[in-house]
Amino acid sequence: MSLAIGDWQMHGLCRGNHSHLFFPPSTFEKKDERERRESRAKAICDVCPVQGDCVTYALEIREPYGIWGGTTEVDRRARAS
């Protein structure tokens, strides 16, 4: 899929009802709750048609928060090192 810069975001499966899975809640989240939320978000990323564009974008801008292209903040920091 060849999309203009930013157009890929309109095709992400993270949009809509699942968006809450991709970022931590504003209140405290237990470790097991975080792991379940991240696992569900990554499962959506695994079948998303723009996963590659998403992770590339997150790495390029050094996105510090959330699940992007199936990667967590920790995953992206490790890849950038």
**What kind and span of H or E run contains 14?**
none
User: What per-residue confidence (pLDDT) applies to 4?
Assistant: 57
Q: Is the pLDDT of residue 26 over 60?
A: yes
Strand partners, 68: 71
71 in helix, strand or coil? strand
Quick one: average pLDDT of 16-33?
Answer: 92
pLDDT interval class at 5 (50, 70, 90): low
**What kind and span of H or E run contains 77?**
helix 73-80
For the chain, domain boundaries? 7-80
What dihedral do alpha carbons 24, 67, 73, 31 form, nearest 10°?
40
Quick one: average pLDDT of 47-74?
Answer: 95
Percent of the chain with pLDDT over 90: 80
Quick one: average pLDDT of 1-15?
Answer: 77
pTM for the full model? 0.86
Nearest to 38 by CA among 52, 18, 15: 18
